[in-house]
Every structure is written in C-alpha cells, then in structure tokens.
C-alpha cells in the first residue's frame, strides 16, 4: 500500500504545525503565572512526581546548573521544596508545595484548552480528526533527522 500524495502530506503537516504553533499558549501561561516557560515546564514535570535535580534536568533536557537556578527561583517563590531523598542521603528530591500544585494545575488548564476553531468543529468532523490523530499516534515515531 502506498502512502498519500507527498504534496497533500506536506500541506497537511504544515496545516497541523501552523495550527499548533499559532496557539502559542506559552506566552499566556507565562503571563498568567508570572513565570518563564522553563519554570512552568519544571512545575508540570514535578506535578507528575518529585525528581532529583539530575532527573529533572534530564526530563527538561537542560543543563543541571540551569535547572538548579530554576529550582532555586521556584523555591524562593514557595512553589517547590527540597526534601531528603529516601534512598540516597546525598541527594534531595524536589517536590511541589500546595502553591506549586495549584500553579501547575493552572498551567495545565491554560495549556490544555483547545483553540476556539477546534471547539467549534461539528461533532462528526471532530470524531474524524480524533480518529486520524489516534491512528498517527500508533505509527512508529520518525527518528530525529
């Protein structure tokens, strides 16, 4: 079975990319929380579970010294706290405070809100779009080029 027309594939990819990238929620969430987007990303990663600084740096694909700066700032703002690691006395776990969990939840609410154009689609079109996207997610991911 042959794939779709390359021109149509490129146009579809461009349309999907434009739709997502034009919905730059990073600016909105940063403004709403008064935090850089790097700090918002850290909060969202920590909402899933506490991490050591090294683990958090890996999750954020950032240098550990930079992540230390981020965590120091979040700690000063009362959004995270460092606690002793239960299995490694040399390490600290970074975890959200109640205020940090609230900030992460607010970030998720902003970032997860679908654009108006998507919410205004007829139910049939939305069902078709979702079916296609779920099918694309099942396809092996392209290797980094």
Whether the predicted pLDDT of 47 surpasses 70: yes
Which of the four CATH numbers 1.10.150.20, 1.10.10.10, 3.30.70.60, 1.10.3720.10 does domain 24-138 have? 1.10.10.10
Q: What mean pLDDT, rounded, does the chain reach? A: 89
- Asked if residues 80 and 93 have their Cβ atoms less than 8 Å apart, the reply is no
Q: How many CB atoms lie within 10 A of CB 55?
A: 16
Q: What DSSP state is assigned to residue 98?
A: H
The string of pLDDT tens digits covering residues 10-37 is 988 888 888 777 777 888 899 999 999 9
Residue 19: count of CB within 10 angstroms of its CB: 12
Domain ranges of the chain: 24-138
């Amino acid at each position: 079975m042959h794939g779709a027309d390359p021109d149509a594939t490129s146009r579809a990819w461009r349309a999907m990319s434009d739709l997502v990238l034009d919905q730059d929620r990073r600016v909105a969430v940063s403004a709403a929380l008064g935090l850089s987007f790097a700090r918002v990303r850290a909060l969202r990663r920590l909402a899933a579970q506490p991490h050591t600084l090294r683990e958090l740096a890996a999750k954020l694909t950032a240098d550990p010294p930079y992540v230390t700066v981020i965590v120091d700032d979040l700690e000063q703002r009362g959004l995270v706290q460092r606690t002793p690691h239960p299995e490694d006395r040399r390490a600290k776990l970074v975890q959200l405070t109640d205020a940090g969990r609230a900030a992460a939840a607010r970030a998720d609410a902003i970032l997860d809100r679908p654009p108006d154009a998507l919410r205004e689609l007829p139910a049939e079109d939305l069902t078709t779009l979702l079916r296609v996207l779920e099918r694309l997610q099942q396809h092996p991911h392209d290797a980094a080029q």
